Structure 1
């Protein structure tokens, strides 16, 4: 039997990725201190590795496909096939941000003020290219972690660090002076695997269902019964991806109306629908929108 060797990101994205796969239809069971979690698909063999290393393993063929960050494919100048973007992070469905930050009381206010200064980061190549393009000479030092603390300890004048909520940045008393780039998760594939018809179809199917699960986030289905004379008023209230589905109820002058809407508007929409005459309203969650 053919198998797809799939890499899942270790660390901050691990939990969110496993939850996304579950919503898409795959149950992944991680084991303590085990880099090879179980998955309920005999055609997939999973490995967990750091996002920073994922593109290297995919390019070499050790993995057929994997999920990593756009930041790390750029950092490693990856030549893996980009299957597509998957915009999610550990706490949100938004891109993460790489920012340049300095101490709160620093005299550094602009990028130009960093001329001749030391910058600590894990994203060395991208940072170097960023400053070279602006002809600003900085001393870039690789950081193994706890990068924000480098400024606090006086080991660097600035840091380039990733953030979602800026809470860690603020907790260390740092101040952001510039956003270097935004990043999101990406599904990448090995070139030879991509040229294999079976593997390519498997990769494309997985990506499609993951995208469908992301599209379904915070979207719900609504279904209701509506009398014929109130149908136009009800349909006029309903937002929809396309148009609501309307079907006759058997042997009556009533209709079944079904649509999908943002979860954010349901609490205001349902009372409005009932006032216009909708009955038997059902709200239900969605796993995927394809």
Structure 2
């Protein structure tokens, strides 16, 4: 199966070129090229084992590619660690929500807010453990309100529902004021009603903050409800790229992933 390069959009914010990533005895990513334009919503889809999560790890700096380059805002970040990418404007969520289970929802967001403010002031205002300043408390409250958790700020994170844990993780990412948000399976394990609410929340957050969003997702209703562009991975190769409609009508994509009977309105 030949590799298909994604069409290069204008105003690139994130690009990957000729990305190769192997694990012992497994070739995971094979010369992947993709580009994300500023303000885009790009969905990465494909069957299990296609390489989607590994690609996310390479883009976020969680792992480094064996070869190829990753660029952000025109700068080479191929070997930049994940924490530095966060400081440069990356936000990230995971398939299993990564939150501090023993803290309340508000305390989780407080950590993110204080980290963001400390970064802006080079550590001068990092006061975690002391009584938060009024402006910090306001930011925490606003962020919880934005993701629909205003009434659950004092709830311990471990007792939140699966959907609310995902909302809390999103709130922590938003508190860092990212320019680009990477969402790995944002609706995985959700009931249909929660899934639709998540679609609406992500769309609203993106519009409000003018962020760029890159997501992986198995649910095609989520993909076609959010994405402005879609790329398709299969056995570690990029086999198709385009608008949701172009990808939906692609015979190869139907064969390897969507199926011949798929019909999304």
TM range (shorter): under 0.3
Structure 1 or 2, whichever has the larger Rg, is: 1
The two structures have a TM-score, normalised by structure 1, of 0.24
Give the structure with the larger strand fraction: 1
Which has the higher relative contact order, 1 or 2, with Cα contacts under 8 A spaced 6 or more apart? Answer: 2
The two structures have a TM-score, normalised by structure 2, of 0.26
